Structures are given as structure tokens and as C-alpha cells.
Amino acid sequence: MPLKRFDRPVILGMVGDSASGKTTLARGVARILGEHRVAAIRTDDYHRYTRAERAMNGLSALDPRANYMDILEQHLGLLSQGKPILKPVYDHATGTLAPAEYVTPKPFIIVEGLLGYSTKEMRDCFDVKVYLDPEEDLRVDWKVQRDTAERGYTRDQVMASLEKRRSDSPTYIHPQRAFADIVVQFRRPEGQEDERGAHLDVRHILRPTLPHPNLAPLVDAGAKNELSLDLTRDEDGKPVDVLGLSGSMTDERAAALENLLWELIPEASHLRDNVGEFTNADKEQVVSHPLALSQLLIAYHMVKAALGIHVI
């Protein structure tokens, strides 16, 4: 299907600490929206220094001073107006800067990284803002696994890097949580401290900054231990809805919930595809039902936003 004309792209933010699951979630959302319709931007490309330079100047990659923040803001503004950018490139494999690359906006843009919600000008560019907030022990495990497998670090180097960032995360990353429409929290189920993948539970903290779908039919369809929707107070005391999805959900229940979600956006039925796959520590493609439903809920908001602007 050729791309339709569109006035401006619909932009999704996927912000969170290092190894909080941003790429896995973003990739699934892109697959639902149709990868040819999605431009992906990683804010790590806006790193100002090489890995060696950061080691010299003592700045972590989380520090805004170690990133071209004003250029990121400028580029988000240009993309949100449908204009192309010449994006810098940071090569994670070598920790060096590479030649800039040309990015044309597509109907959907997914911006994933550490620092996307730092300024009001940046935040105003997003249609949907997600913040990843997994259990800390889980994140540390994910980071060790990813950085040793893909970025050439040793386990000790990863632990040292985490230690060095211990004050930068609360200073620069965590405050962005307050600006998200949806906070996604992957957690190990009670008594299953070794769970790292397909059977993690997930909680969605839903703020009224987005028109969330009516989830009552889903909750009614799920058993209480598989799916829950609770009015509660967030860690900052503000009222929120919390949608709980259990990692022990059966395939049948998950399929029923997926069907219900698809029925909420009949205009997008042609986008239906496999969702929820991820690559586990053993390099196997596995399906996580909570992950699939998280991707679908986020895609729901992207599609709804797009329907207000252009035909998808």
C-alpha cells in the first residue's frame, strides 16, 4: 500500500533509563503500525562526545551536557512539522560519532531515548508520551545482558557504568516520568525472582492526558488475576488508573483481549500483524502477552491520533 499524503507525522516518545526496554517496546509498536510507515529516531545519536571523550571529561551519556539538547529539540520541532532532518549518528558498537544521516518524516515517528522529555518544547512535539519504568533489578539484568552482548562491554564495566550513573538517573532521567501519558512498568511476579522475559507482569499507569480507551470490556473479559484496572495514587500522590496485565495470562485470554482492542480501532484492522515478540537471553523469538498488549495499547493511541490527521 503506498503512503498516503499526510500533513504532519504522529510522534511517539519512548523515554526511560538505559536498558529499560525502550527498543523492544518500540519495535513492536512499529511492527503494528507498519515498519514502512515508521521513522525511528534514537536520541542517543545526539551524544556530543565519544565514549573515550566521556571517560575523559567524566560526563555520563545521561547528562544533558553530554548531548546536543538544543539540536534534538530543533529536530523534533522540524519532524513534527513534517520536515526532513540531517540527524547525527552515534555508533554504539564502537562508542564513536559517525557521519550524519538524512531522515525523511513518515506518517509515524518513534523517538526513543534517555532524554526526550527534558524541555517543554520537546514535550510539545509528541502525540503520545510513554515512559519505561521497570523494576530496578530487572533493568540491571537487562543492561548487563545487552551491553555485554551488543556493545562490547564486560560485566564489570557495565556495573561500573551503572555505579557512575547512580546520581545521574534520578537527576536527569527520572523527572521525565512526570510528563508521560503512560508509564509502563515491567515487574517480576510475586515469588518468581528469576523471571526476566515472557512471563513478566506489566502495569500501565494511565494519566488523563490522553483519551484512553474504555477498558471496561477488557477487564470484564479477564479474570481478576490476569487483568485489573484500579483507581489509585501514583508515587507522587496524583490520582491515576493502573492497568495490570499478568505474565501468566493464557494464550486464549490474551487473544480475546487483543481482539477487543482491535475492535476499538476498526479503521486500522489492516494493520493487524504479529505483536509481542521479543528476543530473549537465549536469542530465541518468544511471545510475551503483556508485552503484546502494551504494544497494542500504545499503537491504539498512535492510530487514533493519526486518524485525526491523515488516512493510514
Residues that bind its own copies (CB under 8 A): 48, 68, 70-71, 74, 78, 83-86, 88-89, 96-100, 102
Nearer to its own copies, 91 or 241 (CB): 91
**Minimum CB distance to its own copies, residue 259 (Å):** 44
Categorise residue 24: left if φ over 0, alpha if ψ from -120 to 50, beta otherwise: alpha
**Minimum CB distance to its own copies, residue 91 (Å):** 10
What are the residues whose beta carbons fall under 8 Å from the beta carbon of 75, sequence distance 6 or more? 41, 85, 87
**Minimum CB distance to its own copies, residue 71 (Å):** 4
Nearer to its own copies, 89 or 221 (CB): 89
**Minimum CB distance to its own copies, residue 49 (Å):** 11
Query: What is the rounded CA–CA span in Å between residue 268 and residue 79?
Result: 24
CA dist 248 to 169, 174, 189, 190, Å? Answer: 31, 29, 9, 11
Nearer to its own copies, 97 or 287 (CB): 97
Nearer to its own copies, 102 or 216 (CB): 102
**Minimum CB distance to its own copies, residue 86 (Å):** 4
Nearer to its own copies, 81 or 167 (CB): 81
| C-alpha closest to that of 33 among 268, 311, 289 | 268
- Do β-strands 10-16 and 108-113 pair in parallel, antiparallel, or remain unpaired? parallel
In this structure, is the dihedral angle defined by the CA atoms of residues 19, 116, 44 and 86, taken in order, positive or negative?
A: positive
In this structure, is the dihedral angle defined by the CA atoms of residues 172, 173, 175 and 176, taken in order, positive or negative?
A: positive
Nearer to its own copies, 44 or 258 (CB): 44
**Minimum CB distance to its own copies, residue 17 (Å):** 25
